[in-house]
Amino acid sequence: MADIRKTAWRQAIVAKKAHRTAEQMAQSQREISVSEFFAKNRHLLGFDNPRKALLTTIKEAVDNSLDACEEGGILPEILVEIEQLEEDRFRVAIEDNDPGIVKAQIPNIFGKLLYGSKFHSRRQSRGQQGIGISAAGLYGQMTVGKGPRIWSKTKRGKMHAFEMQMDLTKNKALITKDEEHASWHRKHGTRFEIDIEASYQRGLRSVDDYIKQTAVANPHAEIRYRAPGMEEPRVYERAIKAVPDLPDEIKPHPYGVELGELMKMLRNTNSRWLSGFLQEEFCRVGPKVAKEIIKAAKLGERSYPSRIARDEANNLFRAIQNTKISSPPTNCLSPIGEDRIREGLMKECDADFYAVSTRPPSVYRGNPFQIEVGIAWGKPGVDQLEVDEKGRIAKKKKKRTIDTEDLLGNADEPVRVLRFANRVPLLFQQSGCGFTKAVTQTSWKNYGLSQSKGALPIGSAVILIHMASVWVPFTSEAKEAIAPYPEILKEVKLALQEAGRKLGSHIRKGKKVASEFQKRSYIEKYLPHVGIGLQEILGISNEEREEIVETLRDTMETTRKI
């Protein structure tokens, strides 16, 4: 056996290589810049392949546009253009009417990875990492050799046109063009343009699909979209004319803070007393709660925060966990809303039944979040049974032709799951997403759908799930899937169960109607014969017979009402 093993090793490694000492190893160790890291690991950012790269580039830019307009209190007008340059190269431009970007920040925002305003703020927004748009520029530069072009104008400032190259080793932008113009065709706004290696296709998980879903979840935005092959731009009109209020920014909740962070906050605070520190730096801590925490930690209310050692901080940390503190405020959340979800589903699915359910806000690791769920369900290609006002059953001819635009699939295929985080559609990594996990862990058999263990339920249905949060825990920087934190899984499951119960009672009713209909049709078939029998026995006239049959039918309909 040992020989076989040795042979395997020998086969595997043909060329012998000198082993190395600690000193030799030390020489090759060095720092890696964050740009180098993400350039090599670009699939982490959603640039796995040319098709996805196109989507990610547009997604990052549109997310930024919507966020900037929301922050500036502006009704968004967004223009998305895709132009084919060569077979595998495209020019992508996203232009908006956002407040614009001040000159000094343009190279940072577009030319530096890990730069932005959203990372350190606890406010619900689409972007949160400070990576997305600069990563798109980096991808373009890596694949086509040209850096991004930016035009931006603020209300009072001039229009600045920039061209840049990104220096990977230093993670910063080299400006190659910097022009100033007195005016622009917009009073304020930003245009981002990049040439990338890409592939444009229609269908599921396409840019078309993304734009459509984005319009559904952001009815206050006007989106003009032009892709190769379109003669005219496709226009998604604004459905609401009110600018959404900017969600509040909140302080961290004590329950979500870890010991290490607490120690850091103690060192850096401006508060001079421990009691003030707790009330200043956290939400939901008033004088009473602060007193309670400090007492439980066996510390003094007037201790100097910066002089608290690790063991005391640890006591403080444990005391926080054991003190009853109310949940964080939830007015910082901006859910889509039940009516809007129902409307959106109706627009996209020609279903027979819609159920929507919204959970009250909840908290994971100190971050407030809220889950909304919508279900659309239909039986495609099957005659529908309906009950009219009088309780009569009618067989309604309704053959659904499966429209490729319709999100409802075939009855023998897994349901479609539409996932949204802070109104941004998530198109990839479905199987690795906490939302999907919650769907597969729900017992859909209870609600009338068939399901194999650990799989999506089967049926012609769409399940929409939205999470609104000040911090969405994505499983990767590509922001494609939600990490399955237990609190989030629980809330999604509860929402699914609530909507599922509505669906279940509808499906059961449908089944009851169907079996009822069958029973009745049997009886109805024999009613005339019963009438003839009675006529023979009682010697009544044809009119009397007809009348009796009619009475019998009426009686049946009223007594067997569903």
64 binds a second copy (CB under 8 A): no
Q: Are 345 and 415 in contact (CB under 8 A)?
A: no
Please name which of 508, 429, 493 lies closest in space to residue 463, comparing C-alpha atoms: 493
- Using CB under 8 A as the binding rule, the residues of this chain from 191 to 220 that contact a second copy are 197, 219
β-pairing verdict for 222-226 and 77-86:
parallel
247 binds a second copy (CB under 8 A): yes
Instruction: Figure out which of the listed residues 51, 224, 244, 301 binds a second copy, where binding follows CB under 8 A.
Output: 244
Q: Are 68 and 98 in contact (CB under 8 A)?
A: yes
Tokens 């132009």 belong to residue: 83
β-pairing verdict for 89-96 and 149-153:
unpaired
Letters for 344-373 (x = contact with a second copy by CB under 8 A, - = none) are ------------------------------
Letters for 253-292 (x = contact with a second copy by CB under 8 A, - = none) are -----xxxx-xx----------------------------
Instruction: Figure out which of the listed residues 84, 279, 476, 497 binds a second copy, where binding follows CB under 8 A.
Output: 476
Q: What DSSP state is assigned to residue 471? A: S
188 binds a second copy (CB under 8 A): yes
Q: Distance (Å, rounded) from C-alpha 36 to C-alpha 323?
A: 45
529 binds a second copy (CB under 8 A): no
Please name which of 531, 537, 428, 469 lies closest in space to residue 52, comparing C-alpha atoms: 428
Token representation of residue 157 = 């400032």
- Using CB under 8 A as the binding rule, the residues of this chain from 67 to 126 that contact a second copy are 68, 71-74, 99-102, 104-105, 108-109, 112, 114-117, 119-121
Span from 75-83, 143-151, 499-507, 518-526 in contact with a second copy (CB under 8 A): 143-151
# of chain residues touching a second copy (CB under 8 A): 125
Q: Distance (Å, rounded) from C-alpha 394 to C-alpha 284?
A: 58
Greatest alpha-carbon span in the chain:
117
- Taking the least distance from each CB to a second copy, the nearer of 91 and 545 is 91
Least spacing, CB of residue 477 vs a second copy, in Å: 7
Please name which of 227, 230, 189, 194 lies closest in space to residue 211, comparing C-alpha atoms: 227
Sequence-distant (6+) residues with CB within 8 A of 139 are 42, 45, 47, 53, 57, 196
Letters for 387-416 (x = contact with a second copy by CB under 8 A, - = none) are --------------------------xx--
- Using CB under 8 A as the binding rule, the residues of this chain from 433 to 472 that contact a second copy are 436, 452-455, 471
Least spacing, CB of residue 493 vs a second copy, in Å: 17
Please name which of 298, 305, 313, 309 lies closest in space to residue 281, comparing C-alpha atoms: 305
Instruction: Figure out which of the listed residues 75, 239, 296, 514 binds a second copy, where binding follows CB under 8 A.
Output: 239
Instruction: Figure out which of the listed residues 51, 83, 157, 184 binds a second copy, where binding follows CB under 8 A.
Output: 157
252 binds a second copy (CB under 8 A): no
